[in-house]
């Protein structure tokens, strides 16, 4: 049993003020795997005070000094790589192979990208007779989710440090173990006291206090749209910057010239990534009506081959979902889809044989889904794909854009000009053309209720900076 009873504040491991504890459940077994301390408003205040005290000196550091710190963090992170993979596999059910190749890898990828961006970045330049200058925004509160624990920490923390900001991190209580290891990494890398602070707690107590704190200049939040609205409401009275990466319901448009076998197979793999617990995955597959019967046959066959099992088994392709609440929510979505008349072609309700313990969801595919159904409108956050027929490209674009979300979109087809034309018409922050490899320099973020602001690459760094105009600098 892992016990974390201290927070990392002002360069020290300190006992929390809050007396509450939280039991972390291993979703593969439903057994307790850790106990963590839960902070309160006083803990938030202590962490913010430390960040505020550290700010003047850290703002004054040179680009070279911050690059050196980021490189030390990367070295320390790599030295704990396998431990990160094991902890994320334990706490949120990522199959160990996926935890190594995707979850832990993202820490290296985003730190490497942040270093590359900072090396080339200019903080000052001339516009006519005015000197433009980018300066760190100040103390940043970082609130991260459980589904990609380290990915979401690093895409916030690395650019904040690159910018010269100080930080208070509040990770999800459902995946705190990798976060605590990350605090050790920061300590080993020699981050100056107060530049990075970590507290644990829930959203209603510590998250809300961080968002409303008058000494916090910016909140970067990743989570549900519902929770994001509350964060923005808490932040509004102090007019702080709020960057949000929220929910998604991304459409995957298969054009009529597509290699159907490949497009459906890869589309399913995308939707089932991380057991469907990703905000930007292609959860709505839009297929030409004439190809739908063929596409559903492929989807049913491919879905049946997915091996679901415990996170520590190397051959598990899908692990459990994170907790009981998530499992029950997904089951309700599946029941609603069946009640509304969608056709179940793979998976369905109930537990996965032979497991009577563990939050395993059957990889599920529905066809004959219409845009008015709940499974077509709301984010499910589980391994559930909905297949929808369209009659023309205009119709497909209308379906894709007909949602409150706009995080990502996907377009597949053999004619690059057609694919690019459709991509331009989709109202979403990231469009993936023909299943490309990840580009960690791309800007990541959403339109509409999928959020405000961008992460990853140069755009991610810009979020943590304020723009100053020094007029009359040149005469």
Helix (H, G, I), strand (E, B), or coil: what is residue 114?
A: helix
Q: What is the pLDDT of residue 242?
A: 97
Task: Collect contacts of 412-419 with beta carbons under 8 A, ≥24 apart.
Answer: 412/252, 412/253, 412/254, 412/255, 412/258, 412/263, 412/267, 413/254, 413/255, 413/256, 413/257, 413/258, 414/255, 414/257, 414/258, 414/259, 415/255, 415/257, 418/255, 418/257, 418/393, 419/255
Residue 274 backbone zone (phi > 0: left; psi -120 to 50: alpha; other: beta): left
409 backbone dihedrals φ, ψ, rounded to 5°: -150, 160
Active-site annotation holder among 113, 234, 279, 455: 279
Q: What is the pLDDT of residue 2?
A: 96
Residue 165 among the catalytic residues: no
* Count of Cβ atoms closer than 10 Å to residue 41 Cβ: 17
Q: What is the pLDDT of residue 280?
A: 97
Active-site annotation holder among 173, 212, 245, 379: 245
CB 23 within 8 A of CB 30: no
Query: Which tens digits make up the pLDDT trace of 209-248?
Result: 999 999 999 999 999 989 999 999 999 999 999 999 999 9
In the numeric block, which tokens belong to residue 387?
């297949």
The pLDDT of 264-270, averaged and rounded, is 98
Contact residues for 90 (Cβ-Cβ < 8 A; gap 6+): 26, 33, 177, 311
Q: What is the DSSP string of 233-276?
A: HHHGGGT-EEEEE----EEEEE-TTS-HHHHHHHHHHHHTGGGG
Q: Is the pLDDT of residue 132 over 90?
A: yes
Q: What is the pLDDT of residue 137?
A: 98
CB 176 within 8 A of CB 24: yes
Query: Which tens digits make up the pLDDT trace of 83-110?
Result: 999 999 999 999 999 999 999 999 999 9
* Cα Rg, the chain, nearest whole Å: 23
The pLDDT of 425-435, averaged and rounded, is 98
Residue 18: band (very low, low, confident or very high) from pLDDT cuts 50, 70, 90: confident
Q: Which residues pair with 408 in a beta bridge?
A: 430
CB 385 within 8 A of CB 285: yes
Q: What is the pLDDT of residue 87?
A: 98
Query: Which tens digits make up the pLDDT trace of 315-324?
Result: 999 999 999 9
In the numeric block, which tokens belong to residue 274?
């991380």
Residue 474: band (very low, low, confident or very high) from pLDDT cuts 50, 70, 90: confident
Query: Which tens digits make up the pLDDT trace of 343-372?
Result: 999 999 999 999 999 999 999 999 999 999
Query: Which tens digits make up the pLDDT trace of 291-314?
Result: 999 999 999 999 999 999 999 998
> Side-chain half-sphere of 231: how many Cα atoms within 13 Å?
32
Residue 384: band (very low, low, confident or very high) from pLDDT cuts 50, 70, 90: very high
In this prediction the pTM is 0.96
CB 175 within 8 A of CB 62: no
What percent of the chain stands above pLDDT 90? 98
Q: Is the pLDDT of residue 68 over 70?
A: yes
Contact residues for 187 (Cβ-Cβ < 8 A; gap 6+): 8, 11
Q: What is the pLDDT of residue 475?
A: 59
26 backbone dihedrals φ, ψ, rounded to 5°: -75, 110
For residue 335, CA distances in Å to 11, 270, 272, 384 come to 49, 23, 19, 12
State yes or no: cis peptide before 228, omega within 30 of 0.
no
Domains of the chain in start order, with CATH, are 2-246+450-470 (3.40.605.10), 250-439 (3.40.309.10)
Task: Collect contacts of 97-105 with beta carbons under 8 A, ≥24 apart.
Answer: 97/314, 97/316, 98/274, 98/319, 99/311, 102/273, 102/274, 103/148, 103/149, 103/150, 103/151, 104/150
Sheet strand arrangement including 2-4: 2-4, 31-37, 21-26
């Amino acid at each position: 049993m892992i016990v974390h009873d201290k927070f990392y504040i002002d360069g020290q491991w300190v006992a929390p003020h809050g007396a509450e504890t939280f039991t972390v459940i291993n979703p593969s077994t439903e057994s307790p795997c850790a106990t963590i301390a839960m902070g309160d408003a006083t803990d938030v205040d202590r962490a913010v005070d430390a960040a505020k005290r550290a700010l003047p000196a850290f703002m004054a550091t040179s680009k070279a000094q911050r690059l050196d710190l980021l490189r030390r963090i990367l070295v320390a992170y790599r030295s704990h790589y396998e431990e990160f993979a094991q902890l994320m596999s334990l706490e949120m059910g990522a199959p160990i192979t996926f935890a190594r190749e995707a979850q832990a890898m993202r820490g290296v990828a985003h730190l490497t990208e942040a270093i590359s961006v900072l090396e080339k970045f200019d903080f000052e330049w001339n516009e006519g007779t005015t000197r433009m200058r980018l300066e760190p925004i100040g103390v940043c509160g970082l609130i991260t989710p459980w589904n990609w624990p380290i990915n979401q920490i690093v895409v916030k923390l690395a650019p904040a440090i690159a910018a010269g900001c100080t930080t208070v991190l509040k990770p999800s209580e459902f995946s705190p173990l990798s976060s605590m290891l990350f605090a050790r990494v920061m300590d080993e890398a020699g981050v100056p006291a107060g530049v990075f602070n970590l507290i644990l707690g829930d959203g209603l107590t510590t998250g809300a206090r961080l968002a409303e704190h008058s000494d916090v200049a910016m909140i970067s939040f990743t989570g549900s749209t519902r929770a994001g609205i509350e964060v923005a409401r808490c932040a509004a009275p102090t007019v702080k910057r709020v960057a949000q990466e929220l929910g998604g319901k991304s459409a995957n448009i298969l054009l009529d010239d597509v290699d159907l076998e490949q497009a459906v197979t890869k589309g399913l793999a995308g939707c089932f990534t991380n057991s469907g617990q990703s905000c930007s995955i292609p959860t709505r597959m839009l297929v030409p009506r004439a190809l739908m019967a063929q596409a559903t046959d492929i989807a049913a066959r491919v879905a049946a081959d997915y091996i679901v099992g415990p996170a520590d088994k190397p051959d598990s392709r899908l692990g459990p979902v994170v907790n009981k609440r998530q499992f029950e929510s997904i089951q309700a979505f599946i029941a609603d889809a069946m009640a509304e008349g969608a056709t179940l072609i793979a998976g369905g309700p109930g537990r996965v044989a032979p497991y009577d313990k563990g939050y395993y969801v059957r990889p599920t595919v529905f066809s004959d889904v219409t845009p008015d159904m709940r499974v077509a409108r709301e984010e499910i956050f589980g391994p559930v794909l909905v297949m929808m027929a369209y009659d023309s490209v205009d119709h497909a674009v209308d379906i894709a854009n007909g949602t409150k979300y706009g995080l990502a979109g996907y377009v597949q087809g053999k004619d690059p000009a057609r694919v690019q034309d459709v991509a331009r018409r989709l109202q979403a922050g990231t469009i993936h053309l023909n299943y490309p490899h990840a580009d960690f320099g791309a800007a990541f973020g959403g339109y509409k209720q999928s959020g405000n602001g961008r992460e990853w690459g140069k755009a991610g760094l810009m979020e943590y900076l304020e723009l100053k105009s020094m007029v009359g600098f040149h005469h």
